[in-house]
Structure 1
Amino acid sequence: MSARPVIPAGSGTPAGSVIPAQAGIQNAPRAISIALLAMGGEGGGVLADWLVDLAEHNGFVAQATSVPGVAQRTGATLYYIEMFPRDAVPPGAQPVLALAPVPGEVDVVIASELMEAGRALQRGLVTPARTTLVASTHRVYSMTERTAMGDGRVDADKLLQGARAAARRFVQADFAQLAEQAGAPITPALCGALAASGAMPFTREQFEETIRRGGVGVEGSLRAFAAGFDAGLDSRLRGNDGKGRGKDGDGGGKSEAVATRLGPRLADLETRITAEFPASAHAILRAGVLRLADYQDPPYAAQYLDRLAALRDAAPELLQDTARHLALWMSYEDAIRVADLKTRRSRFARVASEVRLDGKQVLEIGEFMHPRLQEIADILPAGVGRWLLSSPFARGVVQPFTRKGRVVRTSTLSGYLLLYAIAALRPLRPRSLRFQQEQERIAQWLAHIQRLAGTQPALALEVARAQRLVKGYGDTHARGWASFERLMATLPRLESSADAGARMRNLAQAALADESGAALERELASL
Structure 2
Amino acid sequence: MTVPFEKPIAIAILAMGGQGGGVLADWIVSMAEAQGWAAQSTSVPGVAQRTGATIYYVELLRPSADGKMPVLSLMPTPGDVDIVLAAEFMEAGRSMMRGLVTPDRTTLIASTHRSYAVGEKEMPGDGTSDPQMVADASGIAARRSIVFDMQRLAEKNGSVISSAMFGALAGAAVLPFGRAAFEDAIRAGGKGVEASLRAFAAAFERAEQGAADPVQRKPTPVEAAVPEKSDHPKLDALLIRLRMAVPLGVQPITFAGLKKVVDWQDPSYGEEYLDRLAALHKLDVEAGGANRDYAFTEAAAKYLANAMTYDDVIRVADLKTRATRFDRVRKEIGAKAEQVVYTTEYMHPRMEEVAGTLPARMGRWLTANRPLYNRLDRFFSKGRHVKTGTLFWFAGLYVVSALKPMRRGMLRHEMETAHVARWLDTATGVLPTNYDLATAVLGARRLIKGYSDTHSRGLTKFDKVMSAVPLLSMRADGGQWLGRLVQAALADEAGSTLDAALQTIHSFADSAPA
Contact 2:148 2:213 in 1 (8 A): no
1:425 CA drift (Å) = 0.8
User: Which residue of the other structure, out of 456, 466, 471, is the alignment partner of 2:434?
Assistant: 456
Aligned equivalents of 1:335, 1:485: Cα separation in 2: 23
Aligned equivalents of 2:10, 2:238: Cα separation in 1: 58
Give the corresponding residue for 1:203: 178
State how 1:151-300 maps to structure 2 within 5 Å: 151-234=126-209, 236=210, 238-239=211-212, 259-260=224-225, 262=227, 263-265=230-232, 266-273=235-242, 277-278=246-247, 280-300=249-269
1:94 CA drift (Å) = 4.7
Contact 2:359 2:409 in 1 (8 A): yes
Give the corresponding residue for 1:468: 446
Contact 1:136 1:176 in 2 (8 A): yes
1:158 CA drift (Å) = 3.4
Change (3 A) 1:413 1:51: same
Corresponding pairs, count: 489
Per-residue deviation, residues 382-435 of structure 1 (Å, max 9, x unmatched): 112111211246526633431423333222222211110100011111222212
AA paired with 2:5? Answer: V
1:269 CA drift (Å) = 4.1
Contact 1:40 1:75 in 2 (8 A): no
Q: Establish whether residue 18 from structure 1 lines up as the match of residue 8 from structure 2.
A: no
Contact 1:31 1:84 in 2 (8 A): yes
AA paired with 1:18? Answer: F
1:274 CA drift (Å) = 5.2
Aligned equivalents of 1:324, 1:167: Cα separation in 2: 43
1:374 CA drift (Å) = 0.8
Change (3 A) 1:206 1:277: farther
Give the corresponding residue for 2:57: 80
1:95 CA drift (Å) = 4.5
Contact 2:465 2:485 in 1 (8 A): yes
User: Which residue of the other structure, out of 361, 364, 382, is the alignment partner of 2:342?
Assistant: 364
Give the corresponding residue for 1:432: 410
AA paired with 2:357? Answer: I
Give the corresponding residue for 1:251: none
Aligned equivalents of 2:225, 2:201: Cα separation in 1: 31
Aligned equivalents of 1:276, 1:32: Cα separation in 2: 66
Aligned equivalents of 2:264, 2:98: Cα separation in 1: 44
Give the corresponding residue for 2:510: none
Aligned equivalents of 1:190, 1:342: Cα separation in 2: 34
1:279 CA drift (Å) = 5.0
Q: Percent identity?
A: 45
Q: Establish whether residue 490 from structure 1 lines up as the match of residue 468 from structure 2.
A: yes
Aligned equivalents of 1:499, 1:341: Cα separation in 2: 41
- 3-state secondary structure, aligned to 1:149: coil
Change (3 A) 1:163 1:288: farther
User: Which residue of the other structure, out of 380, 383, 398, is the alignment partner of 2:361?
Assistant: 383
**RMSD value, Cα:** 3.0
- 3-state secondary structure, aligned to 1:512: helix
Per-residue deviation, residues 39-90 of structure 1 (Å, max 9, x unmatched): 012210110010111222235332222111223417520112222333xx34
Aligned equivalents of 1:267, 1:285: Cα separation in 2: 15
User: Which residue of the other structure, out of 464, 473, 478, is the alignment partner of 1:500?
Assistant: 478
- 3-state secondary structure, aligned to 1:264: coil
Contact 1:169 1:239 in 2 (8 A): no
AA paired with 1:85? Answer: R
1:100 CA drift (Å) = 2.4
State how 1:36-51 maps to structure 2 within 5 Å: 36-51=13-28
Deviates more, 1:53-62 or 1:390-399: 390-399
Contact 2:51 2:118 in 1 (8 A): no
Give the corresponding residue for 1:245: none
Unaligned 5+ runs, structure 1: 1-11, 20-29, 243-253
Unaligned 5+ runs, structure 2: 507-514
Q: Establish whether residue 303 from structure 1 lines up as the match of residue 278 from structure 2.
A: no
Aligned equivalents of 2:389, 2:466: Cα separation in 1: 45
Give the corresponding residue for 1:354: 332
